[in-house]
Amino acid sequence: MVDEKGRRNSKISRDQLVTSTTWTLYQLALHPEIVRRLRVETISIFGSDPSPTLQDLDKMNLLKNVICETMPLNPSVGFNIREALTDATLPRGGKRWLGRYCPSERRRFMSLLGMYRNPDSIGPDTDKWRPDRWVPGLRRRESSSPSASAHVYAWVRHSASSRWSM
């Protein structure tokens, strides 16, 4: 039997998936050249095999880039709230000694939409949908993304929680 919290979490996850998928399809409808490239990628990886493997899906780099580009531009959750369970110091610039003290039970509000539209985070063209900015190995000025090859936890949208998609 699923409890109320389990039902709520399931609904939240489903809503986020539907929202993200809808925005992705919308962006693809506006960018037919990306759809053509996705089709070429899909045919080159899957061929006529009707049952792709996880390894096949891992090779779909353009699709990953499309998803990585859509989520910050149109996040399914516009803000996030976190609460420290114990007193903590949040590092700044990767350095704990430059950090900000965060007392326990104090909530922190994060505007995800604001962070993802910040030119310092993504680049000068944060309002443009450009999946190629996520191509691994591109220099920052080519990708206009400081984290084109960043660790998975570098972006707030991953949040490393039980509801991974937030």
Is 5 within a domain? no
Is 3 within a domain? no
* Helix and strand counts by DSSP (H, E) for the chain: 6, 4
Kindly report the length of the chain.
166
Q: What is the pLDDT along the chain (166 residues), one digit of tens a residue?
A: 567 776 666 666 667 788 889 999 999 999 999 999 999 999 999 988 878 889 998 899 999 999 888 888 888 778 888 888 899 887 777 666 677 888 888 888 888 888 778 777 667 788 889 998 877 765 444 444 444 444 444 455 445 444 444 4
Is 39 within a domain? yes
CATH number of the domain enclosing 28: 1.10.630.10
Enter the pTM of the model.
Answer: 0.67
Under 8 Å between Cβ of 155 and 166: no
Is 166 within a domain? no
Under 8 Å between Cβ of 61 and 83: no
Is 1 within a domain? no
Is 41 within a domain? yes
Is 165 within a domain? no
Residue 48 class from Cβ within 10 Å (0-12 exposed, 13-18 middle, 19+ buried)? exposed
Is 116 within a domain? yes
Domain of 102, in residue numbers: 10-159
CB atoms within 10 A of CB 66: 23
CB atoms within 10 A of CB 114: 11
Number of domains, the chain: 1
